[in-house]
Amino acid sequence: MPLLQWTVAQVAIAIVACTSLAAGQPTGAAPGAGFHATVLSIGDGDTLRVSRQGLPITIRLACIDAPEMAQSPYGQQSRSDLQTRLAKGREVTIIPHTTDRYGRTVAEVISDININLVLVEDGQAFAYRQYLSGCEAKEYLDAEYRASRHRYGVWQVEGGITRPWDFRHGRRNAVIPDGTTPGGHRYRCKEIGSYERAQELLRQGHSYLDSNGDGEACESLR
């Protein structure tokens, strides 16, 4: 099978597994219990919203970790790449792995190709080593190695940019003047006025505005 390519038969098997699960029949491991969905919007380089039979679902891409939006310009580039690949209204197959602490469905997304894997291959995301169980780990690690060799995306910097998980950890541990926020002022989304301003404040260190940890502040303002 060519790299990244899913066959029609593989997707069909995933859909059959999902149908069996819905009917209460036993299935194998969670990856493979797939369902069809329609893309609604892209949050950042590893988060999107889809609709399944009219029900909106937030998807966190499994097996990978894309740069945070505050890791400019790489976060914006990763988001733009995902938007290009998954335009609004595009039909995709979702292969769920689990649900995270924010209630998001952690999944691989198939649209002719494995979107998660191709993002790593193109240097728009890292293989998320901490969460590769249940993934084809070798495929993701090999894709990352090729991206690093070609200096794609996040690998344009020698050794790659700061890993998103390290970046998030550093921001959580940052020393802030009043112990909570930069400059001693705590903002509320409803008083900020615009989505763009909210992202600017997030880049300045107001990480509490990103309540679900997906790299976007005040998503209600979009």
- Tell me which residue has tokens 């790659």: 160
State yes or no: is 151 an active-site residue: no
What amino acid is encoded at 83 in this protein?
Q
List the one residue out of 40, 30, 141, 44 whose CA is nearest residue 95: 30
The answer to whether residue 104 is catalytic is yes
**Which of 58, 51, 7, 10 minimizes the C-alpha distance to 34?**
10
For 220, phi and psi rounded to 5 degrees? -65, -15
Mode of pairing for the β-strands spanning 35-44 and 105-111: unpaired
How many CB atoms are closer than 10 A to CB 51? 13
**Given 49, 79, 104, 168, the catalytic residue:** 104
Active site residue 129: no
Residue 153 gets the label, from left (phi > 0), alpha (psi -120 to 50) or beta, of left
- Per annotation, catalytic residue among 49, 60, 79, 168: 60
DSSP codes of every residue in 92-150 = EEEEEEEE-TTS-EEEEEEESEEHHHHHHHTTSSEE-GGG-TTS-HHHHHHHHHHHHHH
CA atoms of 192 and 40, how far apart (whole Å):
25
CA–CA separation, 134 and 47 (whole Å): 19
Question: Which positions are catalytic?
Answer: 60, 68, 104
